[in-house]
Amino acid sequence: MDNILDGLNTEQLQAVTATEGFYRVIAGAGSGKTRALSHRFAYLVSEIGALPSGILCVTFTNKAAAEMKKRIRALTGDNDTGYISTFHSFCVSVLQEDISAVQYPKSFLVLDNADIDAMLKLIYEERGLTLRDMTFGKARDMIEMRKLVKDPEYYELMIAMTPEALQEKYLNAAAADDIIFWGYLYQEKKCFGLDYNDLIKYVLHIFDIDAAIRLKWQQRLEYIMIDEFQDIDALQYRLMRVLCDYHKNLFIVGDPDQTIYTWRGASVRYLLEFDKEFSNVRTIMMMRNYRSTPQIVAAANALIAANKIRVDKDLIPTLPDGAPVVYHHARTAGEEALWIAHEIKDLADRGAPLRDITILYRAHYLSRTLEEVFLREELPYTIFSGVQFFSRMEIKDALSYLRLVSLRDDLSFLRVANVPKRNLGQRRMKFLQDYAVQNSCTLYAALERTVDDDIFKNTKAKRLLALVERFSALVSELPVSELLSKLLDESGYEALLRTEGSQERLDNLAELKQSVHDFEINCGEESTLESYLAHVALMTAGDAESGKNAVKLMTVHTAKGLEFPYVFLCGLMEGVFPSKKVLTREGMEEERRLCFVAFTRAEKRLCLTDAEGRNLDGSYRYPSRFIFNVDRALLTYTGELDPRLVSDTRLMIESNEKMLELTAAGPSFGPGDRVVHSIMGSGEIVDIDRDKNAYLVKFDSIPTPRKISMRARLERAPSQV
């Protein structure tokens, strides 16, 4: 008991010992919410006597889940940590137990982006589509949007229709987006695959159609805790409501000032209006900041105070005074990058490891100038983007071998059947694909049935089949780490990399083996091959780490949930941060919240920078309004700004704020309305472009319609007054 409650402040203690009912914890940045959640889990188990298997604790990254499991084990001394996972990982657990309710096998496949691209490649080749019709990235986005908006009940068709019926719908489709969408659903059904967006949909559907399964999970989960509640979306909210409806024990933790994912469905109102949706909600405010110096906390408080849609609160610093928050205005982007490089070298000379220094920016393109300068200045750096660890070729190959052994799916077969070379080239693969379509079977089953055909003479097809069968029999006998090592050896894959002299790839395979070993330690009895494959499919960029002693470069979105001793926030210009794409007051508040997240990543020192110059569209670059949101006394300027620049910047910001207010009010006219323009004369509103806040007007005196900003002075025609 003393160990679990030791060192908690008053608010944390209140949160940890709150057990029954609905609780909302408003936890400011750096206030120790992970500590409160892990100690509450340990308190429920050690003091209340709750079973770990009856506790669901939802985090938003696998990395956060692993960290929480580690902390709880240290507190309880027990390897059983119940359901500590992301929403999607939890849904995999539900489906592995109950997906038979929709006639899917328990060995269903969890798809990642590489799998989806492999499916798209098959569809494009089969139907003669090219990237001119639609890039893979746009195709993935289109599929996601159709599933969420246009065809939200798609899964009912997937469940009800046979692969043959879905194939017919796909083959009869004519438009590119229909071909891709139905072709993708057909490919999914054929291998019983579910992508990221399917997981919650299928769980909710099973809960809707099977009351017994729903009640089983509701009764099992006696306590539900949800971290980062401000990031929850509508589907996750629905799932949460269903799960807590029996025991009515729900404990949520979040910060409305860190809602930065509305573009993917999150809503700050779920947190702000929680007490209106549930009865007898008790709210706990955790505002003491244990991460940042008072100087950084003061700047962050001043920045976010400019927002209106929020809980009125201030972070309370607990650390001793530190360095001032510095603002540097540069003449060019090159000078901005050079100033940052010199500051970093100065920090390094004073003993700061480069790995403790992070540069944040609004968008990836801003890294180009930084990279050029860092290469010239011989400053090592790592960009947290691009090809992540689990997307590398050799890692995907190794995982495909594991998946082929477990699931015998087409995607894995296509990826590794001829790697290393087994003389199973394009002609023989076409033979198998034709056979599989004609006989409604997998490619692996097609090879099993036709391996004695003359076409497979002088190939290693039988060796591949023997390899898969032998290791399939070992799945339940060997730990996943040992199975992987033996499989990579006996398949000849590691030998192939050695022959190629690919030491970096061999090193990556060694790191993969270590990750499997870590997974086994963290999960204990849960560490089956199926659970590991599902775990890896749900890995995100935020789960990747680098131990290299180099400066980190990343977007602010990537940095969410992380903290760094030294932070440089660059590119603080109007049209960059805040983004020029912001067209609403709500959008501007989200940009400010994103900037607040950037500020509060810093522990010891925070530097803000911007640069003059022109954007690609020719517009002039002004310092960001977010700099002016912070009281001048809270920032140390490296040089005074030109009074003319300050004046012009404020005028531009005021004009933009008026535009945002106009957008919030909505259009004054609609299609068909007659209007009068002081210069262009009378005309009729033809259409409204909400993205550009403009009317399309057909003026009587001009032959073609014109787009006119909503800011322009238009009056209703006298006949309509």
Residue 10's φ and ψ, nearest 5 degrees, are: -55, -45
Arithmetic mean of pLDDT, 52-80: 84
Options 396, 601, 604, 621, the catalytic residue: 601
629-669 pLDDT tens trace:
999 999 999 999 999 999 999 999 998 888 787 766 667 88
Residues annotated in a binding site for ATP: 27-34
The DSSP letter of residue 304 is: H
424-480 pLDDT tens trace:
998 999 999 999 988 889 999 999 999 999 999 999 999 999 999 999 999 988 889
- CATH class given for the domain over 390-540: mainly alpha
pLDDT surpassing 70 at residue 608: yes
Quick check: is 258 catalytic? yes
Quick check: is 310 catalytic? no
pLDDT surpassing 80 at residue 6: yes
Q: Are 401 and 409 in contact (CB under 8 A)?
A: no
What pLDDT does residue 541 have? 46
Give the whole-angstrom CA distance, residue 449 versus residue 663.
64
State the pTM of this model.
Answer: 0.77
- DSSP annotation string for 159-177: HHS-HHHHHHHHHH--SHH
What pLDDT does residue 71 have? 87
Domain boundary assignment for the chain: 10-93+203-286, 109-191, 316-388+551-658, 390-540, 673-716
385-415 pLDDT tens trace:
644 567 778 988 999 999 999 999 999 999 9
DSSP-derived 3-state class of residue 361: strand
507-521 pLDDT tens trace:
778 878 877 887 777
Q: Are 37 and 68 in contact (CB under 8 A)?
A: yes
Check for a shared fold between 10-93+203-286 and 316-388+551-658: yes
* H or E element, residue 382: strand 381-383
Among 6-15, 337-346, 539-548, the minimum mean pLDDT is found in: 539-548
Q: Residue ranges of the alpha helices (H) in 529-604?
A: 529-537, 556-559, 585-599
Name residue, tokens 């000849």: 492
pLDDT surpassing 70 at residue 369: yes
Options 11, 12, 33, 410, the catalytic residue: 33
142-185 pLDDT tens trace:
999 899 888 889 999 899 999 999 999 999 999 999 999 999 99
Domain covering 316-388+551-658, topology: Rossmann fold (3.40.50)
Options 98, 227, 591, 610, the catalytic residue: 227
Q: Length of the chain in residues, anyone?
A: 721
Give the whole-angstrom CA distance, residue 448 versus residue 404.
14
Angle between helices 461-474 and 480-490 (to 10 degrees): 160
pLDDT surpassing 90 at residue 238: yes
Arithmetic mean of pLDDT, 557-576: 93
CA distances 384 to 391, 532, 553, 557, Å, are 13, 24, 6, 11
CA distances 498 to 392, 423, 502, 506, Å, are 17, 20, 6, 8
Options 115, 228, 356, 530, the catalytic residue: 228
E-assigned strand segments in 598-705: 602-611, 635-637, 674-677, 681-689, 694-699
What pLDDT does residue 380 have? 93
E-assigned strand segments in 123-205: 193-194
pLDDT band with cut points at 50, 70 and 90 for residue 2: low
Quick check: is 601 catalytic? yes
Look up residue 212 and give its amino acid: A
pLDDT band with cut points at 50, 70 and 90 for residue 261: confident
Quick check: is 663 catalytic? no
670-716 pLDDT tens trace:
899 999 998 999 999 999 987 677 899 999 999 999 999 887 888 99
Options 17, 19, 34, 528, the catalytic residue: 34
* Mean pLDDT, all residues of the chain: 90
Burial 682-707, CB ≥16 within 10 A → b, else e: ebbbeebeeeebbbbbebeeeeebee
- CATH classification of 10-93+203-286, choosing from 3.10.180.10, 3.40.50.300, 3.30.465.10, 1.20.1540.10? 3.40.50.300
Residues annotated in a binding site: 27-34
What pLDDT does residue 387 have? 45
pLDDT band with cut points at 50, 70 and 90 for residue 721: very low
Give the whole-angstrom CA distance, residue 268 versus residue 309.
9
296-334 pLDDT tens trace:
999 999 999 999 988 899 999 999 999 999 999 999 999
* Residue 14 burial (CB count, 10 A): 17
